[in-house]
Amino acid sequence: MAFDIDMIKRVYANFPSRIEAARKLVGKPLTLSEKILYAHLWQGDASETYTRGESYVDFAPDRVAMQDATAQMALLQFMQAGRAKVAVPSTAHCDHLIQAKVGAEEDLKRANTESKEVFDFLGSVSNKYGIGFWKPGAGIIHQVVLENYAFPGGMMIGTDSHTVNAGGLGMLAIGVGGADACDVMAGLPWELKFPKLIGVKLTGKLNGWTAPKDVILKVAGILTVKGGTGCIVEYFGEGATSMSCTGKGTICNMGAEIGATTSTFGYDESMERYLRATNRDDVADAANAIKAHLTADAEVYAEPEKYFDQVIEINLSELEPHLNGPFTPDLATPISQMKQEAEKNGWPMKVEWGLIGSCTNSSYEDLSRAASIAKQAVDKGLSTKADFGINPGSEQVRFTADRDGYLKTFEDLNATVFTNACGPCIGMWDRVGADKQEKNTIVHSFNRNFAKRADGNPNTFAFVASPEMVAAIAISGRLDFNPLTDTLTNANGEQVKLDPPTGDELPQKGFAVDDPGYQAPAEDGSNVEVIVSPTSHRLQLLEPFAAWEGTDLLGLKLLIKAKGKCTTDHISMAGPWLKFRGHLDNISNNMLIGAVNFFNEKTDDVKNQLTGEYGPVPATQRAYKAAGIGSIVVGDENYGEGSSREHAAMEPRHLGVRAVLVKSFARIHETNLKKQGMLGLTFANKEDYNKILEDDTIDILGLTSFAPNTPLTIVLHHKDGSKDEILVNHSYNAQQIEWFKAGGALNIIRKNAAK
């Protein structure tokens, strides 16, 4: 940790002067988000002000974090960048590739065998390039980052959209693609459009059954999955300071579900307590010394409407527990209305599984509060009607919760304790019977509940709730169970009521851990060998993408016109495909297989214009590629929402798709497309989406004078000989246009490193 505190002190040393310079330039009091942004300008002191939602700005993040699924591609790219060592502190975490099946010990053993090649690769690349490596079983990336690396006022990027979790410790932590991580590790600036700011004022105090999770479930209901796009959400008020640090982490974590760039809270005593409890007195002392800079200026929170682009107020004293879902995290239902809503919508009332865990809700406090419900159930003669699974967030949390008896409490209720890993949250769940695709309901404390996400079954209705509510609902076995008002029948036939949960924000006896699962990198990694077998199915060294040919793109075929929601899960599915995350050609066989074809409403069934036959999307695209013909993908609103998965951009690039044309993009995906040298375009007139026909051949014109803020033209040649000409917009700046021309950002980095 010594490396860290030196870095943190260096960052803090710049805060007072940089914030003062920014305040003078902006000419008004600053929000916390602005302070952190201006303190991390690549250039140092601010010399100009930036327009929210418009200006592209270069930043200097303090850290990079990567999880095993995305780290493979990020590090394969880094290996191509020509550098000896990472330029900023970086870590890799093995958490996505461990399937939940029978329980922690056996599942971990199996993963260590099945994914040995990948874990060995990540371990050796980390060792070579100075990256901290967290082995399988060490924990879920965002919990481990919160426990070890997050610090108030810091800026971090991570190759996972829930990197935002570190906002719970007052950071600006942002999910990016592996290509962005590669840039920052290579010592380059990281570019972001200066975000807009949403202020959320929390009044009152959480009480009874209501938990921090309910705050974000409520916010998701208000803002929807798109409402936070391009924004930082800054929470403040008495309700914020009265909440635990890990609770704040939960709220920030699910900021990803409203599309927010990130979320954060001002430094307060809960953060200081957490830093000290996780052995970071030095960080707490350093933060205390510049406390005033680690929260907004007083005027901002007094009159938030003046300083934020949007303000939401939530009274925690009146907030009800929520269940969000099914199939989308923004369909928010207060528990008192669940019975009515479930009946009205025909949601299956019987609950089959309750799952507690994920990076969102796997802290010590979460487990202790859920365990208090489990314990009551045992004490009151209740058994659980649903199956029950727990994924602790880290080995430190697991070890401490075990020492304090919480895991035994869960096991007394027949719960299965899975590995400290993502498990069902990322579809790594060998759920018995899921292949029968029966209609069923599960509740979990995760963040995402898109169709098929947890178990691959499109008919699983997944609802998101706090861990304590998941425990109560699993025990009752019913979706409409309201623990605030309803009773349950115990083994003696008596009616019993569950009392509100209790728990400890931090372990009374302190955290403990035997082996946290950390491997420090070699001081000098120059002799460390990184081995990738040319016959491997899991890993493949990258070849540079070809540069732009210097002409307009003519004669492209329409590959698919996707209808409705098209998330990165639809573009590059997780679950069984996770194992190919380090092998671009193999994983490309999942390209867009989840997207709905507008013309026949089917998934993975598109017309091959060369043969007239329908077939899978990847095979159709491979046929175009083999024929030397480029193609175009058309999409709807918020295309690419969901995760930072760059495979969703690299696969089309690898298979020869030349452009993605949509009504609107999710930010991370749009950037990922640009990094890979793809064209990401938006309809100037959204109605033009309707002009795209199934047999269209398409030209993209204007590329020879491709310039910022200048639309391009698309000509649609229809089968009947008619044609439409439409205008399309783009958000490429001068630098991003260079990426396009070079065939991808990495080609430029490598060229510069060789100079």
Cβ atoms of 184 and 64 within 8 Å: the answer is yes
Q: Which residues pair with 310 in a beta bridge?
A: 198
Burial of 254 (0-12, 13-18, 19+ CB in 10 A): buried
Q: Is the dihedral of CA 583, 69, 731, 597 positive or negative?
A: positive
CA distance 173 to 212: 19
Q: Which helix (H) or strand (E) holds 225?
A: none
Residue whose tokens read 């009607």: 385
Query: Minimum CB separation from ligand F3S for residue 585, in Å?
Result: 24
Token couple for 92: 């890799």
3-state secondary structure of 686: helix
Q: Which of 388, 363, 368, 361 is nearest to 445 (CA)?
A: 361
User: Residue 44 region, left (φ>0) first, then alpha (ψ -120 to 50), else beta?
Assistant: left
Query: Minimum CB separation from ligand F3S for residue 715, in Å?
Result: 42
Which residue, 230 or 427, is less far from ligand F3S as judged by CB? 427
Q: Which amino acid is at 671?
A: T
Token couple for 584: 């671009």
Annotated active-site residue 95? The verdict is: yes
Instruction: State the residues that interact with ligand F3S by CB under 6 A.
Output: 67, 95-96, 140-142, 160, 162, 358-359, 422, 425-426, 446-447
Residues 394, 643, 644, 731: which is the catalytic one?
Answer: 643
Query: Minimum CB separation from ligand F3S for residue 391, in Å?
Result: 8
Which residue, 253 or 747, is less far from ligand F3S as judged by CB? 253
CA distance 356 to 458: 21
Q: Residue 384: CB partners within 8 Å, gap ≥ 6?
A: 354, 377, 413, 414, 415, 474, 475, 477
Max CA pair span of the chain: 79
Which residue, 358 or 476, is less far from ligand F3S as judged by CB? 358
Query: Minimum CB separation from ligand F3S for residue 417, in Å?
Result: 16
Residues 4, 68, 95, 366: which is the catalytic one?
Answer: 95
Residues 63, 142, 280, 448: which is the catalytic one?
Answer: 448
Phi/psi of residue 637, each to 5°? Answer: -80, 150
Which residue, 462 or 475, is less far from ligand F3S as judged by CB? 462
Q: How many C-beta atoms surround the C-beta of residue 563 within 10 A?
A: 17
Which residue, 142 or 218, is less far from ligand F3S as judged by CB? 142
Which residue, 361 or 621, is less far from ligand F3S as judged by CB? 361
Annotated active-site residue 645? The verdict is: yes
Burial of 510 (0-12, 13-18, 19+ CB in 10 A): exposed
Residues 96, 142, 444, 453: which is the catalytic one?
Answer: 96
Query: Minimum CB separation from ligand F3S for residue 431, in Å?
Result: 16
Which residue, 426 or 553, is less far from ligand F3S as judged by CB? 426
Measured in whole angstroms, the distance separating CA 410 from the mean position of its chain's CA atoms is 28
Query: Minimum CB separation from ligand F3S for residue 231, in Å?
Result: 20
Which residue, 96 or 213, is less far from ligand F3S as judged by CB? 96
Query: Minimum CB separation from ligand F3S for residue 270, in Å?
Result: 22
3-state secondary structure of 215: helix
Q: Which helix (H) or strand (E) holds 274?
A: helix 269-277
Query: Minimum CB separation from ligand F3S for residue 65, in Å?
Result: 10
CA distance 304 to 725: 46
Query: Minimum CB separation from ligand F3S for residue 350, in Å?
Result: 25
Annotated active-site residue 398? The verdict is: no
Annotated active-site residue 455? The verdict is: no
Residue 490 Cα distances to 382, 383, 418, 487, 496, angstroms: 5, 8, 27, 9, 7
Q: Which amino acid is at 632?
A: I
CA distance 657 to 606: 15
3-state secondary structure of 139: strand
Which residue, 142 or 431, is less far from ligand F3S as judged by CB? 142
Q: Which residues are catalytic?
A: 95-96, 160, 448, 643, 645
